[in-house]
Amino acid sequence: MTDKTRISKDILWLLVLLGAVASVFRIWFGLGATTNLSDAVPWGLWKILNMVAGVALSTGGFTIGFLVYVLRIKRFKPLVRPAILIAFLGYGCSCVALLLDIGLPQRFWHPIVMWNEHSFLFEVFWCVLLYFTVTFIELCPTILARSPFKSIESFLHKIVFGVVIVGISLSSLHHSSLGSLFLVTPQRLHPLWYSELLPLFFIISAMGAGMMVVVLIRIIYARFYDPEPVFGKMPDEKTRLVCSLDGSVKGGNGPSPVGRDIPMLRSLAIIAVSILGIYFAIKLIDFTISNTWGALFAGTWESWLLIAQMLLMVILPFLLVILPRTGNTPTGLGFAAFSAAAGMALQRLNVGIFGYFWDAKTVYFPSLIEWAVCFGVVAAAGLLFLFITENFSVFDEKWKERKATTGMFRASFDSISHVWNTVLRSGLQRVTLMAVFAIPIAWVVLYPPYANDDSTHTKVRPSLGLDTLRQELRIDGNRQGLFTDFSHEKHQQRMGGKASCWKCHHISMPQDASTPCFRCHRDMVNATLIFDHFSHMDAVAADQQLPGIHPENHSCVVCHPANQAKTPFNAKSCLQCHERDMGWTASDQASTCELAYACNYRQAMHHTCIPCHQREADSVGRPELGECSTCHQSLRARNQETPVLAESKLDNHLYNNKRRRYIGARPR
């Protein structure tokens, strides 16, 4: 074991310990307290990066199997076992991340016995579960080679072709189904990524990037353990003179540093970039058919994200692999493989997260616990990968020599860090010492009440539906427990039916018939700027058909007087353009400044509900109708025998636990 390997393992163990603490918090406190997910952006880091992108990067298992066992291209056979191991660990990571992302993890087994054949997710669940089982079966011969169960190993070798065929079918099905999941959101997903060909894009990009991941892992393994097959026989340290930028070594006694596996890896990389090139060509055709070229060159951050995705996933890997100067070197192939993998992960993030920001009107950034779990799961897979490659015949038989000279957990270390490298020679001792320091620190840093920024408590969250039709809503903007169970359907009937909506929904977003309150009143205590100046510049330029390379720069005079300072106070009223499509119900014309800012959420609720309740109090014979306790159940007078403020259908879990403990300790 080299110093690089030992340091890498220490880092991976540290990430695993942090991820373990974060996972405990996620299971104990739930998704709401530990993640930054919301109803507007419900899919986050675990589901998209760990699961959707993770299974795509693990596709090398079925693609290499298809090349070797179906197309009979035997030159890639040395990569079969590494590809299977990558697929097994990748799908294992995806399953763990998906388990933590489920609201009720203890019900993960429900799809096994409770079938819903009309659901894409049901098909994805079964395909992922079955393919994970297939990769385990394919990996078993490698593990059983060191066991006395030779008959089982021989049987698995005989059925390997059938198992590979089943794996190819399952992997193709669930990758296309993952793309189909996003077909149900045509109005929410950004046009740059929404397409009826999303299932095809998902499977093609996964095939190309999955093979590049196998190339990358093979190069990394050679760099850490056995350089000669990839980097060539390295010259003597005493005679080595200069190392050029392309990886060749000047001087020395050794021959060319290019290893014997480079031609095989380059051939696989050429196949991979060719498949990614097909993806690129179909994407360009889809742009033409859907007429989205304008959105691609609009200069928005979404367009730059798509350009970065294409550069990383297709263009840069293609150039690095095709050019002989870089395509015949481990460094060039490694950069090409890493670029393709990163670009494919960015493509999944674009489709699953970034592409929904424009509709959600909010930005999702993962919490510390989400990052810790994400990297912790990947780090655990990395440690398991290193353990299996160090103790079983995955890449080569060199592990036997390393095991005979150093042992499974031992290595020779330098004399500088004597305590860390000599006294703590055992891997168990090193991990235990790291755990002693890492777990308490992670517990303090990641503990939800301390990890969450208090400022987030003022951000308004959407109302909760107490029934499937959302006729009854629970309004609790900051989720602090001072909620109101609001019967929307009954209020609508009392106030005159659907024709009375304007009495509460005084204004709506453009082209929206009834905008929820939280979309404008986004903060509990502060006013919110809801006017997007840059989007209005683009919209006005398009509406007025202004000329120029940047026509939006000529749109100022449409709303502001010419030759004057451009301020909100001299802009024309918003209602001159939006009176119809925003449903303004007031009798007077509001100024632009009034419409640019939405008052805080508490003021919007109270100034709408309380005056109406006070007016109706006498007519309905309820003088208390305008009081706080009418809406806020937790503020109502309580019976002396009742030890809690209030009970309701959705009481907080921790609140109930405290209540049970109190009642249990109360004297009879």
Domain range summary for the chain, segments of one domain joined by +: 505-531+574-635, 640-668
Taking residue 42's Cβ as centre, other Cβ atoms within 10 Å add up to 13
- DSSP element (H, E) containing 473: strand 472-475
Alpha-helical (H) ranges within 475-600 are: 488-494, 533-544, 556-559, 575-578, 592-596
Q: Give residue for tokens 């109101």.
A: 484
Which carries the bigger pLDDT value, residue 219 or residue 251?
219
The mean pLDDT value for 216-243 works out to 75
Query: How many whole angstroms separate alpha carbon 212 and alpha carbon 270?
Result: 9
pLDDT value for 662? 35
> Using 50, 70 and 90 to split pLDDT, how confident is the model at 200?
very high
pLDDT above 50 for 376: yes
> Using 50, 70 and 90 to split pLDDT, how confident is the model at 557?
confident
pLDDT by residue (tens digit) across 251-287? 555 445 678 889 999 999 999 999 999 999 999 999 9
Buried/exposed code over 408-444 (b: 16+ C-beta within 10 A; e: otherwise): eeebebeeeeeeebeebbebeebbeebbeebeeebee
pLDDT value for 126? 84
Decide: helix, strand or coil at residue 504.
coil
Q: Closest Cα partner for 256 from 219, 222, 223, 231? A: 231
Query: How many whole angstroms separate alpha carbon 260 and alpha carbon 445?
Result: 48
Q: Closest Cα partner for 395 from 223, 235, 208, 233? A: 223
pLDDT value for 453? 53
pLDDT above 90 for 9: no
> Using 50, 70 and 90 to split pLDDT, how confident is the model at 353?
very high
pLDDT above 90 for 374: yes
Dihedral in degrees, nearest 10, Cα atoms 142, 146, 151, 152: -40
pLDDT value for 639? 57
> Using 50, 70 and 90 to split pLDDT, how confident is the model at 144?
confident
DSSP assignment, residue 76?
A: G
Which carries the bigger pLDDT value, residue 131 or residue 661?
131
Q: Do 540 and 560 contact (CB within 8 A), yes or no?
A: no
pLDDT value for 318? 95
> Using 50, 70 and 90 to split pLDDT, how confident is the model at 385?
very high
Query: How many whole angstroms separate alpha carbon 498 and alpha carbon 203?
Result: 46
The mean pLDDT value for 173-184 works out to 83
**What is the pLDDT of the chain when averaged over all its residues?**
81
Query: How many whole angstroms separate alpha carbon 43 and alpha carbon 370?
Result: 12
pLDDT by residue (tens digit) across 446-481? 888 655 555 556 788 888 888 888 888 898 888 877
> What is the separation of C-alpha 580 from the centre of its chain, rounded to a whole number of angstroms?
39
pLDDT value for 424? 57
Q: Do 183 and 196 contact (CB within 8 A), yes or no?
A: yes
Could you give the angle at which helices 80-101 and 3-29 cross, rounded to 10 degrees? 30
pLDDT value for 349? 94
Q: Closest Cα partner for 257 from 227, 282, 212, 281? A: 227
pLDDT above 60 for 378: yes
Q: Closest Cα partner for 215 from 164, 171, 270, 160? A: 270
pLDDT value for 2? 64
Q: Closest Cα partner for 185 from 378, 41, 292? A: 41
pLDDT value for 585? 60
What does the chain come to in residues?
Answer: 668
DSSP assignment, residue 590?
A: P
Class of residue 516 by CB neighbours under 10 A (exposed 0-12, middle 13-18, buried 19+): middle
Which carries the bigger pLDDT value, residue 401 or residue 132?
132
Query: How many whole angstroms separate alpha carbon 77 and alpha carbon 575?
Result: 69
Q: How many CA atoms lie within 13 A of 382 on its CB side?
A: 20
Decide: helix, strand or coil at residue 35.
coil
pLDDT value for 345? 94
> Using 50, 70 and 90 to split pLDDT, how confident is the model at 402?
low
Q: Do 635 and 650 contact (CB within 8 A), yes or no?
A: no
pLDDT by residue (tens digit) across 411-424? 444 444 555 555 45
pLDDT by residue (tens digit) across 49-61? 988 888 889 888 8
pLDDT above 50 for 65: yes
Buried/exposed code over 554-571 (b: 16+ C-beta within 10 A; e: otherwise): ebeebbbeeeeeeebeeb
Phi, psi of 505, deg, nearest 5: -85, 80
Query: How many whole angstroms separate alpha carbon 518 and alpha carbon 499?
Result: 22
Tell me which long-range contacts 323-329 makes (C-beta under 8 A, separation of at least 24).
Answer: 325/246, 326/246, 327/266, 327/269, 327/270, 328/258, 328/262, 328/266, 329/246, 329/247, 329/248, 329/258, 329/262
Buried/exposed code over 476-508 (b: 16+ C-beta within 10 A; e: otherwise): bbbbeebbbbbebeeebeeeeeeeebeebbebb
Q: What percent of the chain has pLDDT over 90?
A: 25
Residue type, 363: V
pLDDT by residue (tens digit) across 475-513? 888 887 788 998 888 888 888 887 788 778 777 777 777
pLDDT value for 298? 86
Q: Among 151-155, 317-321, 555-559, where is mean pLDDT lowest? A: 151-155
pLDDT value for 228? 86
Which carries the bigger pLDDT value, residue 1 or residue 354?
354
pLDDT value for 562? 84
- Reported pTM: 0.67
Percentages (nearest 5) of helix, strand, coil residues in the chain? 65, 5, 35
pLDDT value for 342? 95
